């Protein structure tokens, strides 16, 4: 086994692939009379029955309930303390050549930005703001006042309430005072797909190929919102607009690669089952910006003098709500291993009560960022469209600790699939207009640990805001934990309730205390299709003072500390990766196929190059294997218990649908345009619950179409002929048992293309995307698009051959509602670009109207770059389709 291992300060733990026997979980004492109905008491020693003294990652009770290991949250997964930042060698912005005015009288934006840029150019440094007030404003055409776009840069003040960053602009719509990062993860061409379902939290990913990946690489794990995924959550009628979209879920760093057995080991366990039916993809990215710090200052915004702070005034030009819509104090985008420390807001002179215009700290697509001792207060606009949120978590494994939110719309909120593994620890919320909450889409497995609410509560309930298929709320979380919540006063909308939880699958409320400590978990969902049974587990309501440990996050972190060198980077049985490998998991049960008589072979690899591994193989197919990891006199044993399946694995059902990893299918529903062809992908579900990819397993699937005039099958590919509805049937046989299924496919009229000779497109790439991929602009599908947020985001269309081009035609997303501003650049070599259209502006047109943009003169090009500057409503760039016209005199060449 050829394995490459990186020596990182991390640890690998292990999880069960099957539920533990009931004897391993402590039995709870009989419920005392003062325990609320429908809840459980703590054990006599104050422990949760899910967290006994001998807890380890993967521990489950007899009902399969378990607590994730949340100890990876924060800067460098909690393995390193936040840096101590000194001023030696720092750049003092008040000194030459910057000469920033610290009296607050003149604008200092350019001076401070120049200091930041100079520190960035040197590879990093500390930009120091001495005691005083620094007035800033976003420059014209820029969506932020101060931007940090390079690693190892720290913006540091003299202390809270000593250094003041004052944003003097009243118009901050979609703008930030401070922005870290300025785009999405930059994906590379190195990509692979999961070849086997990973049902348990795991750091070991079985992939189709591991070549091209290396320890230290950053990867983004994405999934496709397939119809079965939506139906599993009961969201098929609420999230239908997401069907076929590629969503980021986990952002990870690789710690080991095994090219022989095709596995990748990542630094943090997964937080949700990764099913191969959802086309799980692992894509290498360029290293994110990191080691960025903001610390030791106060920040505020002048209040907007206009009237109009109503719920929907963000839509009404001329109102304060419109001007303040989504204005952010600190916006962190796609950064890793960074921190925000010792920062508060303040009320500038002249403001009535307000500190900020709308939002506070936003962690967007971030990884392992720590927010420590931060206080955000009193946003002016708390209307709809995401305004008035003081802390918003949209990334992976971030930590907000010892921080406060006062006077918000939502004090703390989680949003989107990528918001998982985050921890809020020792946080305080006071008097928001709406409760802190899990807000939209499925934010998996987050921890709220020792939160104190004063006029607030924390909500994780299914949310239905109408019948629209674009409803973004719905089922909002699963496997999240509320640990030791203190209630000083409930939110006015709740009667003594400080936690309400209705999660998909299992959710956990463990320990509450204080004058108000009520919990509501017996909630019936507001969306009939969404089955959130069973009711979430509530344990130790009113017993928080007795709860042991008082902090789950602190205790899990302490358990992992010092054990890193004894972790395993890989665990294989007969060359097959074990499902659910986690850091420090020492007990496994592995089920061998029915009829197995040969003794299984156990293999393992150490994370640390200095650690030694000794393996005691099992004595037979029903025996146990032992692995001992040793280093520097310390040892840790891992046990793998084997059992042979009592019955053969037989096919239970077959499912199939469009394989959208290839072009051809329409993105919405099971549809295809006449004249196109699309590949089908099938999955077979076995009676033991496993899923098998028949293509990988060598199982033949026979497809038939019922109407040959509408389309016909060639192997696994459907060729659409003319509009109508065709029924396709898939059938397969395994171990003598046949399964089949049928599906209706809509053949639609093809999309009309512009007149004239069009250049053939080879591929399309982009600087960023939000799950709406760049390839969508060449698929001739009016239901798909490319989208990226931010001025300067670009799309590159590579033609099959270099041609003389004299015009581009573009179909804009929502082109009937807004105009878009952009440049067009061309290149023959992909390196040097010439601008042929500058600050071109689209027109508001009828829906689905194609717009033409002629060049001043024909130019020879193989690459066409669209550089977007947002649209008339916001900074999003969104294109449905783009075409390049061949110059008439070049048509025959």
Is the pLDDT at 26 greater than 60, yes or no? no
- What confidence score (pLDDT) does residue 888 get? 80
Average pLDDT in the 503-529 region?
A: 92
- What confidence score (pLDDT) does residue 17 get? 30
> Quick one: pLDDT band at residue 182, thresholds 50, 70, 90?
confident
| Three-class secondary structure assignment of 514-527 | CCCCEEECCCCCCC
**pLDDT tens-digit readout, 268-281:** 999 999 999 999 99
- What confidence score (pLDDT) does residue 35 get? 60
Average pLDDT in the 6-22 region?
A: 30
Average pLDDT in the 509-515 region?
A: 97
- Asked if 89 contacts 126 with a C-beta cutoff of 8 angstroms, the reply is yes
- Asked if 314 contacts 359 with a C-beta cutoff of 8 angstroms, the reply is no
Bridge-based pairing of strands 367-377 and 404-406 is parallel
Nearest C-alpha neighbor of 253 from the set 207, 220, 209: 220
| Bond from prior residue into 534 cis (ω within 30 degrees of 0) | yes
The kind and range of the H/E element at 113 are: helix 109-121
Architecture of domain 761-890: Sandwich (2.60)
Average pLDDT in the 369-374 region?
A: 98
Share of the chain above pLDDT 70, in %: 95
Average pLDDT, the chain: 91
Assess if CATH 3.30.56.10 describes domain 651-748: no
Eight-class DSSP state of 540: -
> Quick one: pLDDT band at residue 677, thresholds 50, 70, 90?
very high
> Quick one: pLDDT band at residue 38, thresholds 50, 70, 90?
low
Q: How far apart are CA 530 and CA 505, in angstroms?
A: 11
Of residues 601 and 530, more confidently modeled: 601
Average pLDDT in the 94-120 region?
A: 98
Residue 634 sits at φ, ψ, to 5 deg, of -100, 145
Is the pLDDT at 189 greater than 90, yes or no? no
Full DSSP string of 429-456: EE--SS-EEEEES-EES-EEES-EEES-
Nearest C-alpha neighbor of 683 from the set 228, 263, 233: 228
Average pLDDT in the 539-553 region?
A: 97
Of residues 600 and 657, more confidently modeled: 600
Is the pLDDT at 28 greater than 60, yes or no? no
The distance of Cα 577 from the centroid of its chain, to the nearest Å, equals 25
Burial of 609 (0-12, 13-18, 19+ CB in 10 A): exposed
**pLDDT tens-digit readout, 702-738:** 999 999 999 999 999 999 999 999 999 999 999 889 9
**pLDDT tens-digit readout, 480-498:** 999 999 999 999 999 999 9
The kind and range of the H/E element at 221 are: strand 218-224
- What confidence score (pLDDT) does residue 893 get? 52
> Quick one: pLDDT band at residue 19, thresholds 50, 70, 90?
very low
Is the pLDDT at 55 greater than 50, yes or no? yes
Q: Give the global pTM.
A: 0.85
Bridge-based pairing of strands 568-573 and 634-644 is unpaired
- What confidence score (pLDDT) does residue 561 get? 87
Is the pLDDT at 132 greater than 80, yes or no? yes
Nearest C-alpha neighbor of 265 from the set 276, 280, 253, 273: 253
- What confidence score (pLDDT) does residue 3 get? 36
Q: How far apart are CA 391 and CA 404, in angstroms?
A: 9
Average pLDDT in the 338-344 region?
A: 98
Dihedral sign, Cα of residue 799, residue 801, residue 805, residue 807:
negative
**pLDDT tens-digit readout, 280-299:** 999 999 999 999 999 999 99
Is the pLDDT at 197 greater than 50, yes or no? yes
Is the pLDDT at 31 greater than 90, yes or no? no
The helix, strand and coil proportions of the chain, stated in percent and rounded to the nearest 5, come to 10, 45, 50
Is the pLDDT at 230 greater than 60, yes or no? yes
Q: Where in the chain is the domain with CATH 2.60.120.260?
A: 761-890
**pLDDT tens-digit readout, 578-634:** 999 997 899 999 999 999 999 999 999 999 999 999 999 999 999 999 999 999 999
The kind and range of the H/E element at 477 are: strand 477-478
Average pLDDT in the 386-412 region?
A: 97
- Asked if 721 contacts 846 with a C-beta cutoff of 8 angstroms, the reply is no
Average pLDDT in the 864-879 region?
A: 93
């Amino acid at each position: 086994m050829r394995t490459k291992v990186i020596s990182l300060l991390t640890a690998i733990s292990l999880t069960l692939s099957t539920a533990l026997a009931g004897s391993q979980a402590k039995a709870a004492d009989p419920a005392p009379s003062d325990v609320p109905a429908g809840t459980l008491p703590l054990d006599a020693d104050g422990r949760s029955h899910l967290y006994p003294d001998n807890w380890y990652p993967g521990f489950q009770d007899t009902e399969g309930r378990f607590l994730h290991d949340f100890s990876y949250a924060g800067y460098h997964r909690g393995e390193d303390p936040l840096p101590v930042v000194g001023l030696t060698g720092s750049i003092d912005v008040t000194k030459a050549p910057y000469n920033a005015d610290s009296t607050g009288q003149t604008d200092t934006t350019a001076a401070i930005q120049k200091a930041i840029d100079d520190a960035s150019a040197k590879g990093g440094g500390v930009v120091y703001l001495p005691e005083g007030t620094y007035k800033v404003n976003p420059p014209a055409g820029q969506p932020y006042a101060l931007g940090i776009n390079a690693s190892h840069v720290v913006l540091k003040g003299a202390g809270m309430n000593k250094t003041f960053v004052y944003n003097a602009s009243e118009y901050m719509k979609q703008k930030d005072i401070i922005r870290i990062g300025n785009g999405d993860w930059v994906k590379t061409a190195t990509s692979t797909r999961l070849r086997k379902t990973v049902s348990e939290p795991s750091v070991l990913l079985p992939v189709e190929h591991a070549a091209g990946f290396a320890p230290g690489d950053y990867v983004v794990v994405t999934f496709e919102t397939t119809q079965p995924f939506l139906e599993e959550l009961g969201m098929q009628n609420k999230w239908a607009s997401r069907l076929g979209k590629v969503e980021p879920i986990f952002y990870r760093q690789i710690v080991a690669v095994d090219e022989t057995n095709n596995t990748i080991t990542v630094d943090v366990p997964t937080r949700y089952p990764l099913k191969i039916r959802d086309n799980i993809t692992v894509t290498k990215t360029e290293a994110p910006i990191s080691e960025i710090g903001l610390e030791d200052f106060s920040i505020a915004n002048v209040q907007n003098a206009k009237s109009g702070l109503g719920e929907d005034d963000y839509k009404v030009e001329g109102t304060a709500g419109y001007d303040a819509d989504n204005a952010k104090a600190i916006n962190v985008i796609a950064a890793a291993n960074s921190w925000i420390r010792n920062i508060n807001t303040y009320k500038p002179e002249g403001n009535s009560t307000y500190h900020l215009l709308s939002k506070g700290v936003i962690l967007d697509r971030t990884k392992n960022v720590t927010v420590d001792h931060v206080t955000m207060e009193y946003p002016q606009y708390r209307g709809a469209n995401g305004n008035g949120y003081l802390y918003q978590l949209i990334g992976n494994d971030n930590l907000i600790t010892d921080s406060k939110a006062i006077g918000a719309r939502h004090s703390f909120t989680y949003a989107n699939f990528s918001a998982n593994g985050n921890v809020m620890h020792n946080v305080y919320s006071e008097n928001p207009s709406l409760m802190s909450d899990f807000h939209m889409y499925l934010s998996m497995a987050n921890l709220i640990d020792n939160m104190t609410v004063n006029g607030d509560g924390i909500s994780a309930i299914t949310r239905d805001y109408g019948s629209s298929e674009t409803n973004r709320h719905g089922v909002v979380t699963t496997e999240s934990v509320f640990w030791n919540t203190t209630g000083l006063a409930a939110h006015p909308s709740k009667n003594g309730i400080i936690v309400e939880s209705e999660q998909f699958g299992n959710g956990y409320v463990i320990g509450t205390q204080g004058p108000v400590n009520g919990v509501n978990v017996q909630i019936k969902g507001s969306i009939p299709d969404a089955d959130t049974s069973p009711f979430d587990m509530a344990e130790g309501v009113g017993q928080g003072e007795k709860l042991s440990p008082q902090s789950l996050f602190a205790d899990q972190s302490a358990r992992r500390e010092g054990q890193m060198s004894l972790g395993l980077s890989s665990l294989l049985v007969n060359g097959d990766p074990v499902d659910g490998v986690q850091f420090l998991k020492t007990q496994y049960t592995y089920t061998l196929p029915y009829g197995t008589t040969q003794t299984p072979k156990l293999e393992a690899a150490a994370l640390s190059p200095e650690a030694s591994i000794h393996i005691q193989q099992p004595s037979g197919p029903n025996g146990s294997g032992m692995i001992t990891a040793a280093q520097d006199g310390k040892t840790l044993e891992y046990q793998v218990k084997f059992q042979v399946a009592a019955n053969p694995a037989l096919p239970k059902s077959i499912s199939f649908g469009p394989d959208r990893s290839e072009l051809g299918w329409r993105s919405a529903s099971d549809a295809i345009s006449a004249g196109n062809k699309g590949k089908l992908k099938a999955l077979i579900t076995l009676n033991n619950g496993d899923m098998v990819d028949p293509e990988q397993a060598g199982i033949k699937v026979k497809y038939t179409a019922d109407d040959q005039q509408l389309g016909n099958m060639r192997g696994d590919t459907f060729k659409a002929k003319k509009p109508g509805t065709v029924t396709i049937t898939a059938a397969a046989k395994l171990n003598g048992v046949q399964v089949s299924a049928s599906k209706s496919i809509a053949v639609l009229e093809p999309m009309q293309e512009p007149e004239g000779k069009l250049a053939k497109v080879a591929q399309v790439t982009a600087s960023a995307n939000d799950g709406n991929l760049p390839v969508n602009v060449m698929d001739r599908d009016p239901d798909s698009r490319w989208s990226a947020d931010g001025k300067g985001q670009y799309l590159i269309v590579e033609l099959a051959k270099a041609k003389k081009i004299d015009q581009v035609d573009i179909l804009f997303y929502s082109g009937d509602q807004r105009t878009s501003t952009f440049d067009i650049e061309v290149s023959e070599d992909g390196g040097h670009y010439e601008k042929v259209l500058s600050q071109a502006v689209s027109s508001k047109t009828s829906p689905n109207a194609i717009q033409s943009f002629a060049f001043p003169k024909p130019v020879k090009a193989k690459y066409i770059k669209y550089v977007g500057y947002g649209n008339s409503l916001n900074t999003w760039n969104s294109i449905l389709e783009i075409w390049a016209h061949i110059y008439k005199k070049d048509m025959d060449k």
